[in-house]
Structure 1
Amino acid sequence: MKAINLITLLLVIVGGVNWGLVGLAQFDLVATLFGGQSATLSRIVYALVGLSALWQLVPFSKAMSTDEPYAERGYPTTTR
């Protein structure tokens, strides 16, 4: 399961960078690389990015339920 988490995280990052470029420079990198927004390959990449974001909800919810974000910030996870 670790491999799929890394792959989906990478795709979410790709999607985030693409949206950042769209917002800042009106440049759609995925469309440019794969032949336009309506090209089949572009649509596959968009769909994989969207599915990856949904998949990443699972580790996110697990991290929130185990106080993992607090551990990563160095905050104590137990109360005294």
Structure 2
Amino acid sequence: MKILDRAALTILILGGIHLLLIGLIGFNVVEYVLGSPEEWGTRIIYIIIGLSSLWCFKYFSFTPRGGSRLKDR
């Protein structure tokens, strides 16, 4: 699971940088590399970024010192 966690977090960070570029200078890296939003390659990349963000929701239950707030419940 640790590899999947790191992969999801890396993809989520790259997705955030992608959105930063769109917001600041209007440059969409995914569409530049893979084509229009209607193409399957572009849609698959957006789906992977979205699934990574859903996977990282589990980090909301972690405390700053590590571990989970929900462990004692």
* Amino acid in the other structure paired with 1:3: I
More helix by share: 1
- What percent of counterpart residues are identical? 32
* Amino acid in the other structure paired with 2:37: Q
With the length of structure 2 as denominator, give the TM-score of the two structures.
Answer: 0.82
With the length of structure 1 as denominator, give the TM-score of the two structures.
Answer: 0.75
Query: Does the residue aligned with 1:36 lie in a helix, a strand or coil?
Result: coil
* Structure 2: gaps of 5 or more residues: 67-73
Query: Does the residue aligned with 1:17 lie in a helix, a strand or coil?
Result: helix
Partner Cα separation in structure 1 for residue 60 and residue 13 of structure 2: 18
Query: Does the residue aligned with 1:54 lie in a helix, a strand or coil?
Result: helix
Question: What is the total number of aligned residue pairs between the two structures?
Answer: 66
CA RMSD of aligned residues (A): 1.3
* Structure 1: gaps of 5 or more residues: 73-80
Corresponding position of 1:53: 53
Partner Cα separation in structure 2 for residue 16 and residue 61 of structure 1: 18
Larger radius of gyration: 1
